[in-house]
Structure 1
Amino acid sequence: MEEIKDGAIHQTAVKLAEEIKNLSIYKSFYTDIQKLVSSPNVNKEDLKQTLQQAMKEKGLDIKLKNTVFHWVRTQSKHNKSDPITLLTKAGAQWEKRIHKSLNSMCTDLETSLAKIRSQSELEELLEKWNELSTYNLGKIAKVAKNLTKYRPVYAPKDFLEVLLTLSGYVPYTKEDEPKWEFAHLPLQTKTLEQLRKIYTEWACGEPLLGVNPGMPSSMPGFVSLEAERIALGERVAALGYAPVTQEFLKKGSPQCLRAKLWTQVLGAETSSQHATYFNQLKKCVLEVDLMIDKLVFKDVQLTASNDDQYFVFEDLLYQVMLCFSRDSEVLDQLAGHIGAAVTVPVRGRHGDVTTFPPSGVIPFHGFTMYVCVSLATPFCYLYSDPVQLYCTFRAFYVRYWHHLHYISTHPQGIVSLCLLYERLLEANEPLLWIHFRNINVNPIRVVFKWLMRAFSGHLPPDQLLLLWDAILGYDRLEILPLLAVAILSFRKENIFQVNTPQNVDAVLADLSTIPVIPLLQLALMKS
């Protein structure tokens, strides 16, 4: 048995060593090790021990451990395969609809999916790069090709309509289950009791940031819980070890440390290589005009530009979103988890073709709000550098957000989250469930836009950041449907008073007074 175990460890180590060679960190890390080996700190007679000690002194041991941590998380994500292959077919058909809609829009507007920018357009765009909010408002308006005629390819409600037809792909129903919209899918979801075992700190009533700003500390020497968490968080940030940072985030992050802690747990720390890569993406934006650029401008204008919290960061949003659309590494990292991108000709360059879009991600209405959270005050001052903001957003998207708008049976995917929401609501708020059925309101329609956008654009920034702390800390998205049920429970007396979909939406339209952490803690502690 020990031989088998040792063999498995050896094979994993060999695989890990090969995988690290393909990571962006490898070149600089290898260079650092070479310098260290040739330094006086390393003794050739005792190479292993002195090298390990030297790595600790230079912080390279933490860098290596974090690399292994992020690699293991990636392996865990990719090893979860779809048990229902028919859902893959549904996803492929949905993606074909999206591309058909894009082609139809291009035909109507007499434009191309991809074309070379003229020299004058390139120069104008470069000149306006740091003030892109004016890009389609002045002389350059002709480039936008009358932006008012462009429309989002799809919105959350369109995606929900597709999900609600999945019964046509998976004809499965358990006789002893209520006829939930997603009950025909043979997916395993957590019960509330199982969620309590995952979110132990919350279910046990441990002190969390976000409950009471003046909550006293249980440790001597601190006037408040926040002061205690800042002191501990500074030590965690200085250590820089991602698993420890992840554990710390379970109880919430102080605002002053959040940017540093998020980048650590996501593995999104930047270097000169990241700045170079970002500039390469920028160059791609300047050279080739993608039809998707207009969708980015449209989405920013329809969402962030109209939000008092985010409109001042409009220029940063454009930079991040335009560069993200050109990032082919996103498509490579999510191969098999998002749809295959199409290849299209580049007009103006004979024989040239490009993947459309290179990232493989076509934004839906509200996609920009994923980025906006990283700009929430005072967080924005720490992420005012577009390179750091970009790397953090991309890491969040690759790890989490792609699950929310692609069809799969992944336990953190949107289909599983919808089913979890329905089962939690029926089991824990049966009267509310019955009320929805009596007034002919589908319960998932009430909250789907919250789930698909991870509550971005719905909750105030300070509450949303606390919610996303929990997503990072527990490395799970089940907190989203749990919060959706908690909000309905919080507003149920008002919901009982209305009997139309419009009035239900009105009751739930304003979430500005929702205390996220107390509601979630109450939901997990309630017997």
Structure 2
Amino acid sequence: MEELKDEAIHHTALKLAEEIKNLSIYKSFYSDVQKLVSSTNVKKEDFKQTLQQAMKEKGLDTKLRNTVYHWVRTQTKQNKLDPLTSLQKASAQWEKRIHKSLNSMCSDLETSLAKIRPQSEQDELSDKWNELSTYTLDLSKYRPVYAPKDFLEVLLTLSGYVPFTREDEPKWEFAHLPLQVKTLDELRKLYPEWSSGEPLLGVNPSMPSQVPGFATLEAERVGLGERVAALAYAPVVQEYLKRGSPQSLRATLWSLVLGSDVRQQQITAFNQLKASVLEIDLMIDKLIFKDVQLTASNDDQYFVFEDLLYQVMLCFSRDGGVQSALVEAGCAGAPLMVAVRGRHAPADRLIAFPPSGVIPFHGFSMYATPFCYLYDDPVQLYYTFRAFYIRYWHRLHYISTHPQGIVSLCLLYERLLEANEPLLWIHFRNININPVRVVFKWLMRAFSGHLPPDQLLLLWDAILGYDSLEILPLLALAILSFRKENIFQVNTLQNVDAVLADLSTISVIPLLQLALMKP
């Protein structure tokens, strides 16, 4: 058995070594190691030990460990032998519908999906790059391709793609899907820091610390967080985030756990994306401007970040690496391939539209807005948002059976509500309201734009710390439980929405603890 185990480790190491060669970090890392090997710190007679020691002193050991950590996280992919391969058909049809809507909008507006910008327009856009809110566009005829409620309607028809239902399941909207989701007891084991009532940031930061040398919990978390940040080892950072991060350290810690640190290579790549924005006018640019104006610009918490958001979202649309990551995750089909009008190139030269493969919906920009509270630098903001999107947010607007996907999250919410708030479940049934309808906008946007920023960032700390989106339906359940007495007094969807409209007084961590602690 030991021989088999050693052989498996050997093969994994070989695979990892080959994979690292394909990563963007490899060239600079290899160069740093070469310089180290030729230095006086590495002795020929004790090569292995002195090299390892030198790598630790230079921080290369931690850099390599973090690279392995991020590689391992990308290996947990969806099982290709999906029991619900029929949902792939639903996903493909939904994608075609979006593409058709885009082409239809182009025809109506008599414009092109992609065209070269006139030089005067390129110059104006470049001059106004840092104040894009002053860039004049007529967006009156542009409309979002779809909104969360449109996507929900598609998800609610998924029963037509499933060849069977379970006889013992209630005939509700998601309950017929043969997917495995966790029970509340299983979630308690997944989130022990909450279910056991441990002191967490977001409850009472002024409470006395249990650690000698610190007056308050907040002081304790800052002191420990500074040590964790200095260590810069991603798995330790992830563990630390489970109990919440002080605002002063959050930007550093998120970048570490996501591997989104910025070097010259990232700055160069971002400038190339910017150059692409300036050169080529994509119809999707207007949709991005429109979305920011309809959402963040009208939000008291985020309107000041309007210029920064335009930069980040426009560059994101040009990033072909995002499309590659989505294909790798099994979430994206074939993108639209279009010719760039006005480009002096062979007529059959096509580009993916958009290069990122992501067509924004109403509210898409809200995935990025909270990062504006953490980063002033658009490059650092961009790469941290990009890493978060590739790791988590794409799962919230693609049809899949991934356990962290939007379909599974809706089913988890339904099951939790039925099992743990049966009277509320019955009330929804009696007034003929699908309970998913009242929380779907929260789930699809990960509560961005619904919770105050300080509470939202604590929630996203937890998503990173536990590497799980299952926190979202759990919080949705907790909010409904908290306001159930008011929900019992109303009997229309409009009035239920009114009861749940204002979440400004919600404290996320105490609610989650209440939901998970056994009565």
TM-score higher than 0.5 here?
Answer: yes
Aligned-partner SS, 2:75: helix
Residue 79 of structure 1: how far off its partner (Å): 5.4
Cross-structure match for 2:310: 318
Question: Per-residue displacement from partner, 1:38-97 (whole Å, max 9, x unpaired)?
Answer: 111111121111110000000000000000000000001355763311101100000000
Aligned equivalent of 2:340, options 332, 339, 346: 346
TM-score under structure 1 length normalisation? 0.96
Instruction: Tell me if structure 2 keeps the 8 A contact 1:81–1:410.
Output: no
The amino acid that maps onto 2:173 is E
Contact persistence 1:229–1:254 (CA under 8 A): yes
Q: Secondary structure at the match of 1:446?
A: coil
Does structure 1 residue 43 correspond to structure 2 residue 8?
A: no
Residue correspondences, number: 514
User: Deviation string for 1:178-228 (max 9, x for gaps)?
Assistant: 222111111000000000000011101100000013111111221110000
Residue 365 of structure 1 aligns with which residue? 362
C-alpha distance in 2 between matches for 1:515 and 1:353? 49
CA separation in 2, counterparts of 1:214 and 1:160?
A: 41
The one-letter code of the counterpart of 2:195 is A
Q: What is the alpha-carbon distance in structure 2 between the residues aligned to residue 386 and residue 58 of structure 1?
A: 28
- Partner AA of 1:95 in structure 2: E
Matching of residue 505 in structure 1 with residue 497 in structure 2:
yes
For 1:311 and 1:503, the matched residues in 2 are separated by 28
Task: Determine the C-alpha separation between the residues in 1 that align with 2:392 and 2:433.
Answer: 29
Among 434, 438, 445, the alignment partner of 1:446 is 438
- Distance in 2 between residues matched to 1:313 and 1:340, nearest whole Å: 33
1:356 maps onto 2:353 in alignment:
yes
Supply the distance in 2 between the matched residues of 1:176 and 1:169 (Cα, whole angstroms): 19
Q: Which residue of 2 aligns with 1:394?
A: 386
- 1:17-42 CA-to-partner distances (Å, cap 9, x unmatched) read 11101111111111101110111111
1:229-244 alignment, distance < 5 Å: 229-244=221-236
Q: Is 1:91 aligned to 2:85, yes or no?
A: no
Instruction: State the identity as a percent.
Output: 80
1:413 deviates by: 0.2
- Distance (whole Å) between structure 1 residues aligned to residue 466 and residue 507 of structure 2: 20
The equivalent of 1:147 in structure 2 is 139
1:169 maps to which of 161, 165, 182: 161
Structure 2 partner of 1:141: none
Q: What is the distance in 2 between the residues matched to 1:281 and 1:374?
A: 19
Deviation at 1:100, TM superposition (A): 0.3
Q: Is contact 1:88–1:408 with CA below 8 Å preserved after alignment? A: yes
Shift of 1:171: 3.0
Shift of 1:175: 1.4
Amino acid of the structure 2 residue aligned with 1:474: Y
Q: Which runs of 5+ in 2 are unaligned?
A: none
Q: Is 1:457 aligned to residue 446 of structure 2?
A: no
Amino acid at match of 1:54: A
**Of the candidates 263, 266, 273, which is equivalent to residue 271 of structure 1?**
263
Cα distance in 1 for partners of 2:415, 2:6 equals 43
Query: What stretches of structure 1 move > 6 A for 4+ residues in a row?
Result: none
Q: Say whether the 8 Å CA contact 1:214–1:225 is kept in structure 2.
A: yes
1:100 partnered with 2:92: no
Cα deviation 1:329-357 (Å, max 9, x = unaligned): 01111212223212111111242321001
Separation in structure 2 between the aligned mates of residue 166 and residue 172 of structure 1, nearest angstrom? 12
Alignment partner of 1:409 is 2:401: yes
- Unpaired runs of 5+ residues, structure 1, are 137-143
Helix, strand or coil at the partner of 1:10: helix
What's the secondary structure of 1:443's corresponding residue? coil
Equivalent in the alignment of 1:140: none
Aligned to 1:491: 483
Three-state SS of the structure 2 residue aligned to 1:343 is strand
| Match in the other structure for 2:25 | 25
Q: Could you tell me how far 1:105 is from its partner in structure 2?
A: 0.3
Q: Is the 8 A contact 2:413 2:473 kept in 1?
A: yes
8 Å Cα contact 1:147/1:298 also seen in 2? yes
Which secondary structure does the structure 2 equivalent of 1:76 belong to?
Answer: coil
Instruction: Provide Cα deviations, 1:382-420, integer angstroms capped at 9, x if missing partner.
Output: x11000000000000000000000000000000000000
Alpha-carbon separation, structure 2, partners of 1:433 and 1:386: 44
Q: Which residue of 2 aligns with 1:82?
A: 82
Aligned partner of 2:161: which letter?
A: Y
Question: Counterparts of 2:81 and 2:322 in 1: how far apart (Å)?
Answer: 19
1:422 matched to 2:414: yes
Alignment check: 8 A CA contact 2:78 2:402 kept: no
CA contact (8 A) 2:418 2:425 kept: yes
CA contact (8 A) 2:114 2:339 kept: yes
Shift of 1:526: 3.1
Deviations 1:114-167 (A, max 9, x none): 00111111111101101101112xxxxxxx3x2011000001000000000000
User: What SS is found at the alignment partner of 2:337?
Assistant: strand
Q: Distance in 2 between matches of 1:416 and 1:43?
A: 55
- Give the letter aligned to residue 18 of structure 2: E
In structure 2, the residue matched to 1:283 is: 275
**C-alpha spacing 1:195/1:516, structure 2 compared with 1 (3 Å):** same
Q: Return closer, same or farther for 1:80/1:238 CA change in 2, 3 Å cut-off.
A: farther
Question: For residue 260 of structure 1, what is the aligned residue in structure 2?
Answer: 252
Instruction: Report if the CA contact (8 A) 2:146-2:362 is conserved.
Output: yes
Which deviations, in whole Å up to 9, do the C-alpha atoms of 1:236-287 show, x marking residues without a partner? 0000000000000000001100000000000111101100000000011011
Aligned to 1:375: 372
User: 1:413 & 1:86 partners in 2: Cα distance?
Assistant: 16
